[in-house]
Structure 1
Amino acid sequence: MTTASGHTTAIRASRVIGTTVKDGSGDTLGKIEDIILDKTDNTIMFAVVGFGGVLGIGEKYHPLPWSVLDYEKDADAYVVPYTREQLEAAPSDTISELTKDDGAQYRDRAYEYYKVQPYWS
């Protein structure tokens, strides 16, 4: 069954966490650290993508709207239409701050930054 964002198969969240995220040219940007669910709307608020650290030190965590992540089987990775520079300028924080107050603040900032149609409107 195809979703609004074009995803066509179900997958367990535990299998998504740890999956590599790449840009359109195939360069690795980071990996999915967590998935934040909107428990009242039954939707995925955003994926938390970590990148830019060494052994977890200095790593930044970015909320990316789920709809911008396209899984490419051949690459065994999610591919996003953004460059490393665009991600570095994007909203980021610790995972606990990203989910503070039900995650609404970072959800709104991420959807605005990436110019993605909000699922809640």
Structure 2
Amino acid sequence: MTDYDTSRSGDVAKEETGNLIAASKVEGTNVYNTQGESLGSIYDVMIGKRSGQVAYAVMSFGGFLGMGNSYHPVPWQMLEYDERQGGYVVDLDRDRLEDAPYFDEGTTPDWSSPEYGRGIDEYYGVTRSTM
């Protein structure tokens, strides 16, 4: 049995380093385009079960006071963290994001369908190995 200090174990998921961030801390992080315009925030991340790699950032977009939001999966590899802005930057304009694949509150996309992910990837021109 390993002997370690559990006195701070509740803080482990909230820690952040220069290269690592807890998934729970990614949620709510702002997303900007390259012009500095706020596009929304990260609602969730989708992680490949076998690869352990983040496949998509699900962005919360639009709405008012958390109501009427639409959720836009964006391939994770398109996002880059910008410490100056304290958020992620993606090379998309608002119009391109508005026309992107999305789902509304109260609906759940079919993440188990390879076609669903392929449609997202094709829209953004991203190629990936299987998750």
Unaligned runs of 5+ in 2: 1-17
Structure of higher CA gyration radius:
2
Deviating above 6 A after TM superposition, structure 1's stretches of 4 or more consecutive aligned residues are none
- Under a length normalisation based on structure 1, what TM-score does the superposition of the two structures give? 0.84
Greater share of helix = 1
Q: Give distance in 2, aligned partners of 1:18 and 1:104.
A: 27
8 A Cα contact 2:82 2:89, kept in partner: yes
Does the 8 Å CA contact 2:111/2:117 hold for their aligned counterparts?
A: no
Residues 28-72 of structure 1: CA deviation (Å, up to 9, x unaligned): 000000001110232212110011110222211000000001000
Q: Deviations over 1:52-96 (max 9, x none)?
A: 110222211000000001000001010000000000000000375
Q: Say whether residues 1:91 and 2:101 are aligned partners.
A: yes
1:101 deviation in Å?
A: 4.5
TM-score, structure 2 length as denominator? 0.78
Whether the aligned pair in 1 keeps the contact of 2:33 and 2:93 (CA below 8 Å) is yes
Measured in 2, the distance between the counterparts of 1:117 and 1:63 equals 15
Identical aligned pairs, as a percentage?
Answer: 36
Q: What is the alpha-carbon root mean square deviation over aligned residues?
A: 1.9
The residue type paired with residue 69 of structure 1 is L
Q: Give, in whole Å, the separation in 2 of the partners of 1:10 and 1:112.
A: 28
Aligned length: 113
Which of 33, 39, 50 is the aligned partner of 2:49?
39
